[in-house]
A = this chain, B = another copy of it.
Amino acid sequence: MNYPNGIKKNIVKQPVNYKNRGMVLEDDINLTNEYYIKINKAFIYKKPTPIKIVKTDFPSRDKAVIKEAYFTIPSTTDYNGLYDGKYIDFEAKEVKSHTAFSLSNIHIHQINHLKNIYENKGIAFLIVRFTSLYETYLLMAKDLFDFLDNNERKSIPLDYFREKGYLLQQGYMPRIDYLKIVDKVLEVSNNGKKE
């Protein structure tokens, strides 16, 4: 952005610091999605945070200011979009635990939504980052529901992610190439069906 009188605003760039790998998962995914859009590979977006607006002021014709609003419970996952004609849908979560992913991290509406997508030929999954280990896994909806159907537990152990999920490597561009995993899974599932 150009400012008046030729002043350029300094954009504070974070130095590359490999010790500080604490970049939030959401940023990694958003940057990855921007990259996919740029190379015309996929069109996957984060949905805006759902809120309920209670009060709005209109100080002038163009400028509406929201003065009172509340966060509401999302009915769907945060991310969805198009990849190669197919519908992609996922939720992403960071957890501090280094042993398990508590299901309290995800709303029941979101679980139900993932189930609908999975059962209706969409590509649905979870991305979970264990921040204390800096390990990020993609777990396909099928494996999520296999777990839920066979366990009474309120959390999914890390070992389950290690066994059934796919470790997402951290890269530069894209930051986490989750569609590479999706390709792999689809390939396996197509071969499995002998199509």
Residues of chain A at the chain B interface (Cβ within 8 Å): 37, 40, 42-43, 45, 47-51, 53, 63-71, 75-76, 80-82, 84-89, 113, 116-117, 120-122
Contacts and interface: CB of A to CB of B under 8 A. Distances in A.
A53 B71 CA distance: 11
Contacts of A80: 80-81
Contact of A116 (B43, B75, B117): B43
Contacts of A49: 48, 51, 53
Contacts of A40: 116, 120
Given A47-B48, A84-B121, A68 B71 contact: no
A87 B70 CA distance: 30
A68 B55 CA distance: 10
B43 A120 contact: yes
A173 to B, nearest CB: 19
Contact of A81 (B45, B67, B84, B87): B87
Contact of A48 (B43, B48, B81, B117): B48
B85 A43 contact: no
29 contacts: A37-B116, A40-B116, A43-B116, A43-B117, A43-B122, A45-B75, A45-B76, A48-B50, A48-B51, A49-B53, A51-B51, A51-B66, A64-B70, A65-B68, A66-B69, A67-B67, A67-B68, A80-B80, A80-B81, A82-B87, A82-B89, A84-B120, A85-B86, A85-B87, A85-B120, A85-B122, A86-B86, A87-B87, A87-B88
